[in-house]
A and B are shown apart, each in its own frame.
Chain A
């Protein structure tokens, strides 16, 4: 039990440690900046949680994030309202996710390969559409998504909470979620039980795309640009958050709470290192070591309990 709670305890220890070690950590300004920074990875990681539970993987989320942010901001720069712009970005993410799911299930290509392919294709298309140039002329109110505050709390935190509750509900309280666990845990058994595995898997990738699209719009709002080069390497952070939180790349395991903890651990590591003046080079190594450590502990727990 203690080992199951380990990620959560680590987060608390990290939080306490940083509060003591540096006076600049426990301030409203810094904490809200941590929340804003991690919200993007967090929301992507929620989508990734569903994909990983269903036994898949999505390497293309970084590219999808860029494509969604780009198309959303382009729509706004062409005169569309903020809401339409955001919805455009989300729809673009959904479409990309659907294509991933479709290719993985209908052509029966390994999802690692499919999304490795779409990682390149989507990024390439984003660069092609934008000519490699960022979109700048965006209506001011769009900044609210990334920088706004509601009831003293960053607006993105509300968005994150809403997404987390929704994903938790889907995973634990709907047929779709149950099927995702079944497919990830034993795909053959799911087929024998009459589960429409192709449809469920496609739905899961589509939802992941949706959340990534939303994350893309938040990223664009924070930077107030649509960057075709945004989100490079984010897929690995999202996967790392899921894995630190107890998700298994073999499928069938993962929780929303775990993923949130995983993402915040990485967020605090990076924020804390900044505050403590640790070089970004060393930061990368620390995050890498934490990933390996987290999975090692999890494997050890599973082996012990059989």
Chain B
């Protein structure tokens, strides 16, 4: 047995993060760690990596109890963590990052740059990683950065690697690459703990699984014995309909018509229409131009040619303000960064896109009207908040999402562009997001939903557009198959 965690407990102030974390991993085993957001997965792994200390419980490493007071204690015995958000020095090279903190020295005590570069090159070649030792890290994709972290762990001779949701920001191809590397590690008798949300990517990868719920290990065992429905029930603690299917409504008037949208080199002659009541999926690989299309429709990037018509009127979207005024809303992928002012009250967040609705005499705010408006949308979207004055950052992820949507409803937006709406949201909250989108559509909005999760597109979208290298490569009905989407999404050369 490589690692055993026994009854780990941890409190942060008044909040219990862990009350019984149990987990064990053997060498050469890929162990999945699952659970909803807030179940305690990250806390448990941070304890394993020595980043925080448990209040009670034991960490047993190769049969011996260890005390990991700091990250260097964990890395000294061979435990390394690959973080979701890269903890690399962006301005340094791949090689320098691999050796960061453990630079070999020359005879004169200076950093031995030659040896760093050579060892890094050898390491990368050994593992066939698509990297170059002298590349600067800030030029790498998220996948590339993870590879660098993996290299670092290997270089340090780690015998247990913890992956914290490694694929949540990766494309399909990059995900496959990470899987391949995980298998290589496994073959070399490294233990792997792999935190994930994605149910579908696991079967091929994991040997055993531990499921945490509310800070406690509720199930641990071989993955093969566990049907998916049971897995979800363990995670959520209640029956939940994971097979969400939207009942389409008959589409109404055309709300958005895009013709010949072009912005070299990322968008090439894009045409599409959205009707009221429709949810249209936009599939494709990362880099196919889906986010760029949303940005262009929202006036964030200039176009070289093409027309956008919203509800029949031509939109010259030169800035987001033009798009907002025309009734387009973009709910960006990174909600925390671009959707919500966390330190401001819920009410401020809801009215910021349309303060005109609550102001008199040109610029004076009617704060009472604002409270009423906020309260009405809080009720309508069933947002769980104490008061309109509660800080938006204190709400749960799903409720934050709803505040962002309310903001656009206040503005009277009718065309909604959702960029990866379920990223980083747990299973239970996903269905809620789908229901909110469905509700929007039923009330006459048109929705374009970008998603890299093919099963989600199939569940939610009425029809699916697929993009490939800046073009729409095809349109499929909502009840299509993952294979058809992938076929349209993958470059011809690779097929």
Binding site for B on A (CB under 8 A): 172-176, 178-179, 181-182, 185-186, 188-196, 252-253, 304, 306
User: B320 near A: Cβ within 8 Å?
Assistant: yes
Do the beta carbons of B343 and A189 come within 8 Å of each other?
no
A192 near B363: Cβ-Cβ < 8 Å: no
- The 8 Å CB contact of B364, one of A173, A181, A185, is A173
| Closest CB in chain A relative to B410 CB, distance in Å | 10
Q: Is A173 a contact partner of B365 (Cβ separation < 8 A)? A: yes
Residue B330 at the chain A interface, CB threshold 8 Å: yes
| A173-B364, A173-B365, A188-B337 known; A178+B343 contact, CB < 8 A | no
Q: Which residue, B323, B352, B364, has most C-beta atoms of chain A within 10 A? A: B352
Q: When the two chains form their complex, are residues B341 and A186 in contact, meaning their CB atoms are under 8 A apart?
A: yes
A304→B325 CA distance, assembly (Å)? 40
Which among A173, A194, A306 has the highest number of chain B CB atoms within 10 Å? A194
Nearest to B367 among chain A residues (CB) is A173
CA distance A179 to B332 in the complex (A): 20
Write out the residue numbers on chain A whose beta carbons fall within 8 Å of the beta carbon of B351: 178
28 A-B Cβ contacts within 8 A?
A173-B365, A173-B367, A174-B363, A175-B359, A175-B363, A178-B351, A179-B352, A181-B341, A181-B348, A185-B341, A185-B342, A188-B337, A189-B338, A189-B339, A189-B340, A190-B352, A191-B320, A192-B320, A192-B338, A193-B407, A194-B321, A194-B324, A194-B353, A194-B411, A196-B321, A252-B343, A253-B343, A304-B13
The one of A182, A191, A304, A306 in contact with B348, judged by C-beta atoms closer than 8 angstroms, is A182
A172 to B324, CA, bound (A): 24
Classify the interface of chain A: helix, strand, loop or mixed.
Answer: helix
> Is there an interface contact between A192 and B365, defined as CB atoms closer than 8 Å?
no
What separation, in Å, do the CA atoms of A252 and B348 have in the docked complex? Answer: 12
Of A172, A182, A196, A304, which one neighbours B341 at CB under 8 angstroms? A182
Interface string of B341-375 (1 = CB under 8 A from A): 11110001001110110010001110100000000
Contact B332 A192 (CB under 8 A): yes
Which chain B residue lies CB-closest to A199? B321
Asked whether, in the complex, the Cβ of A181 is within 8 Å of the Cβ of B320, the reply is no
Residue B115 at the chain A interface, CB threshold 8 Å: no
Known A175-B355, A178-B352, A182-B352; judge A192-B339 contact (CB<8 A). yes
The docked-state distance in angstroms from the alpha carbon of A129 to that of B126 is 70
Residues of A within 8 A of B330 (CB): 192
Q: Which of B352, B363, B394 contacts A176 (CB 8 A)?
A: B363
Q: A186 contacts B340, CB within 8 Å? A: yes
A252 is contacted by which of B344, B353, B363 (Cβ under 8 Å)? B344
- Nearest-neighbour CB distance to chain B for A195, whole angstroms, equals 7
B320 to nearest A CB, angstroms?
5
In the complex, besides A189-B352, A195-B353, 6 extra interface pairs with C-beta distance below 8 angstroms are A182-B344, A186-B340, A190-B352, A193-B352, A194-B321, A304-B13
B394: chain A residues within 8 A (beta carbon): 306
- B residues 411-438 near A (Cβ < 8 Å) are 411
8 smallest A-B Cβ distances: which pairs?
A194-B324, A185-B341, A193-B353, A186-B341, A188-B338, A194-B321, A175-B355, A193-B352
Would you list which residues of chain B between 231 and 281 have a CB under 8 Å from chain A?
none
| Cβ contacts B127-148/A at 8 Å (1 or 0 each) | 0000000000000000000000
Bound complex: CA A215 to CA B339 (Å)? 38
Q: Is the CB of B352 within 8 A of A195?
A: yes
In the complex formed, the residue of B with least CB distance to A190 is B352
In the complex, what distance in Å separates the CA atom of A252 from the CA atom of B340?
Answer: 13
Q: Looking at the complex, which one of B323, B344, B348 makes contact with A194 (CB distance below 8 Å)?
A: B323
Contact among A179, A191, A194 with B325 in the assembled complex (CB-CB below 8 Å): A194
B365 touches A178 (CB 8 A): yes
Residues of B whose CB lies within 8 Å of any CB of A are 13, 298, 320-321, 323-325, 330, 332, 337-344, 348, 351-353, 355-356, 359, 363-365, 367, 394, 407, 411
In the bound complex, residues from chain B placing their C-beta under 8 Å from that of A191 are 320, 338
Cα distance, A179 to B348, chains bound together (Å) = 9
Cβ 8 A contact of A178, one of B298, B321, B355: B355
Inter-chain contacts of B407 with A (CB < 8 A):
193
The CA of A172 and the CA of B355, in the complex, are separated in Å by 13
CB distance from B284 to the nearest CB of A (A): 22
CB proximity of A213 to chain B, nearest CB, Å? 22
Residues of B within 8 A of A195 (CB): 321, 352-353
Contact indicator B344/A185 (Cβ below 8 Å) = yes
Residues of chain A contacted by B348 (CB below 8 angstroms) = 178, 181-182
| A190 CA to B319 CA, complexed, in Å | 12
- Interface centre among B330, B338, B340, by most chain A C-beta atoms within 10 angstroms, is B338
A173: chain B residues at CB < 8 Å are 364-365, 367
A186 and B353 contacting across the interface, CB-CB below 8 Å: no
The residue on A at minimum CB distance from B353 is: A193
User: Across the two chains, which residue of chain B brings its CB closest to A248?
Assistant: B343
CA A176 – CA B365 in complex, angstroms? Answer: 10
Closest chain-A Cβ to B240's Cβ sits at a distance in Å of 29
What's the least CB distance linking A272 to chain B, in Å? 35
Complex: chain A residue closest to B356, CB-CB:
A175
List A contacts of B363 (CB < 8 A).
174-176
Take A182-B348, A193-B324, A194-B353 as given contacts and tell me if A252 and B365 are in contact as well, using a CB distance cutoff of 8 Å.
Answer: no
Chain A residue, CB-CB nearest to B300: A191
Closest to B330 in A: A192
In the bound complex, CA of A98 to CA of B348 (Å) = 27
Q: Which residues of B contact A194 (CB under 8 A)?
A: 320-321, 323-325, 353, 411
- Across the interface, which residues of A come within 8 angstroms of B337, CB to CB? 186, 188-189
Whole-angstrom CA separation of A275 from B338 in the bound complex: 52
> Closest residue to A181 on the B side, CB-wise?
B344
CB distance from B307 to the nearest CB of A (A): 21
Bound-state CA distance A186–B352 (Å) is 12
CB distance from A120 to the nearest CB of B (A): 29
* B352–A174 touching, CB < 8 Å: no
Q: How far is the CB of B361 from chain A (nearest CB, A)?
A: 10
A192 to B331, CA, bound (A): 8
Chain B residues, Cβ within 8 Å of A176 = 363
User: When chains A and B are docked, how far (Å) is the Cα of A189 from the Cα of B323?
Assistant: 15
Nearest residue, chain B, Cβ from A191: B320
Give Cα distance in the complex from A172 to B340, angstroms. 19
Instruction: Check A174 against B364 for contact (C-beta < 8 Å).
Output: yes
Residues of B within 8 A of A306 (CB): 394
Task: Quote the shortest CB–CB distance from A15 to chain B (angstroms).
Answer: 31
Most buried by A among B321, B348, B367: B321
Residues of B within 8 A of A189 (CB): 337-341, 352
Contact of B342 among A174, A179, A186 (CB under 8 A): A186
Residues in chain B near residue A193, CB distance under 8 A? 320, 324, 352-353, 407
> Within 8 Å CB of B298, what residues of A?
192
User: Residues of A contacting B367 with CB < 8 Å?
Assistant: 173
Contact assessment for B365 and A174 in the assembled complex, using a CB-CB cutoff below 8 Å: yes
A21 to chain B, nearest CB (A): 39
A190 to B394, CA, bound (A): 19
A192 to chain B: closest residue by CB: B338
**In the complex the two chains form, what is the Cα distance from A304 to B13 in whole Å?**
9
**Complex: how many Å from CA A172 to CA B352?**
13
- Chain A residues with Cβ below 8 Å from B321 are 194-196
A238-B324 Cα distance, complex, nearest whole Å: 37
